[in-house]
Amino acid sequence: MAVMLKDDLTPDKMVIGEVFIKVPGAKKSPIKHNTGYFLLLDLPDGRKYSIIAGGKFYKEKEYKKEEIDPKSLNPQQPFVDVFIEPNAGYPFPEGLTVLKGKIVDLEYKPIPEVTIKVKDMAEDAISEGNGDFFIHFKIFAEDKNITLKINKDGYEAKEMTILLKKRITTRIGIIKLIPK
């Protein structure tokens, strides 16, 4: 079986930087081929496999929805595509509307797992282990003010208004949360 990691944000769907996969239950570690495919050899029969994937610019995550049953693949073309999600360090291509920031406490220590929601919109994010977050706005017609609602148990909730520019990465820098 051959697995290709892909990225929805690049025009050619190719990933950026170093990436990896792990396959729990596989007898052998995946082999990265020079074509970009990860080759999985000697998989025990009779079970489905999930893939753990990530990389320098991608969240490490278990892709259970990508569970693979080797028996269901065409033996002549046993290829599987897995789309991976960017992390806050991702070098977003020009032309996307993105908001980036970092959540810290009063001592500038990063705060992970903070919920950042955009008022009256579906977009949201959760800060990563280093406090960084990003929100990618897929449909955005014009520059506009948005309100962020920032929440984490043990800290005072915070709201802030940001001017978000169309097709630009807006960096809002550091946001401090105050403990309750």
Q: What secondary structure, in 3-state letters, does the chain show?
A: CEEEEECCCCCCCECCCCEEEECCCCCCCCEECCCCCEECCCCCCCCCEEEEEEECCEEEEEEEEEEECHHHCCCCCCEEEEECCECCCCCCCCCCEEEEEEEECCCCCECCCCEEEECCCCCEEECCCCCEEEEEECCCCCCEEEEEEEECCCECCEEEEEEECCCCEEEEEEEECCEC
Q: Judge: domain 97-176, CATH 2.40.30.10.
A: no
Whether residue 165 is predicted with pLDDT greater than 70 in this model: the reply is yes
* pLDDT tens track for 50-83: 889 999 999 998 876 557 777 778 888 888 889 9
The domain locations on the chain are 2-83, 97-176
* pLDDT tens track for 10-35: 888 999 999 999 988 888 899 999 99
pLDDT value at residue 49: 82
Say what the pTM is: 0.82
- Is residue 6 very low, low, confident or very high in pLDDT (cuts 50, 70, 90)? very high
